Amino acid sequence: MSHRRDLWLAAPALLAGRHAWAQGAGPSAWPQRPVRIIVPFGLGGSADVAARFLAEPLSAAFGQPFVIENRPGAGATIGTEQVAKAAPDGLTLLLMSNTHTANETLLPNRPYVLLRDLVPVAAINVAYHALVVHPSIEARDVAGLIALLKAHPGRYDYASSGPGTPYHIAGEVFRAMAGVEIQHVPFRGSNEARTAVIAGQVPIMFDAIPTMREQITAGRVRGLGTTGPQRNPLLPELPAVAETLPGYEASIWLGLMAPLNTPRPIVERLNAEVNKILERPETREAQARMGAQPMSMGVEAFADFLRADVAKQAEWIRMAGITAG
Domain ranges of the chain: 3-12+19-126+252-320, 128-243
What is the percent of the chain where pLDDT is above 90? 80
Side chain identity at 188, as an amino acid letter? R
Q: How far is CA 177 from the centre of its chain?
A: 22
Separation CA 34–CA 37 (nearest Å) = 10
Q: Are 131 and 149 in contact (CB under 8 A)?
A: no
CA distances from 128 to 85, 212, 229, 302 (A): 32, 12, 9, 19
State yes or no: cis peptide before 31, omega within 30 of 0.
Answer: yes
The tens digit of pLDDT for each residue in 182-221 reads: 999 999 888 899 999 999 999 999 999 988 999 999 999 9
**Residue 115: left if φ>0, alpha if ψ -120 to 50, beta else—which one?**
alpha
Residue 248 CB contacts under 8 Å (≥ 6 apart), including other chains:
173, 174, 177, 227, 241, 242
- Check pLDDT > 60 for residue 265: yes
Helix 299-320 and helix 98-106: axis angle, to 10°? Answer: 50
CB under 8 Å to 73, separation ≥6 — which residues?
A: 40, 79, 188
- For residues 109 and 137, the answer to whether their CB atoms sit within 8 Å is no
Distance CA 270, CA 234 (A): 31
What band does 1 get if pLDDT is binned at 50, 70 and 90?
Answer: very low
Digit-coded pLDDT (tens) for 285-299: 999 888 899 999 999
Q: Measuring CA to CA, which residue among 54, 100, 45 is closest to residue 74?
A: 100
Q: Where are the beta strands (DSSP E) in 16-65?
A: 35-39
8 A C-beta contact, residue 273 and residue 130:
no
Give the per-residue pLDDT at 70: 96
By percentage, how much of the chain surpasses pLDDT 70? 91
Burial class (CB in 10 A: 0-12, 13-18, 19+), 154: exposed
pLDDT digits (tens, 9 = 90+) for 142-160: 999 999 999 999 999 999 9
| pLDDT mean across residues, the chain | 90
Q: Which residue has the higher pLDDT, 5 or 100?
A: 100
The confidence score (pLDDT) of residue 179 equals 97
* Band (140; pLDDT cuts 50, 70, 90): very high
Position 58 scores a pLDDT of 98
Q: Do domains 3-12+19-126+252-320 and 128-243 have the same CATH topology?
A: yes
Identify the weakest region by mean pLDDT among 23-37, 57-71, 76-90: 23-37
| 3-12+19-126+252-320 CATH fold | D-Maltodextrin-Binding Protein; domain 2 (3.40.190)
Under DSSP, is residue 179 helix (H, G, I), strand (E, B) or coil? coil
Q: Please state, in angstroms and rounded to a whole number, the distance separating the CA atoms of residues 208 and 128.
A: 7
Residue 315: pLDDT above 70? Answer: yes
Segment 173-181 mean pLDDT: 96
In CATH terms, 128-243 corresponds, of 3.40.190.10, 3.40.50.20, 2.40.340.10, 3.40.50.720, to: 3.40.190.10
Confidence at residue 280, expressed as pLDDT on a 0 to 100 scale: 96
Q: Give the model's pLDDT for residue 14.
A: 38
Confidence band for 10, pLDDT divided at 50, 70 and 90: very low
3-state helix, strand, coil in the chain (%, to 5): 45, 20, 35
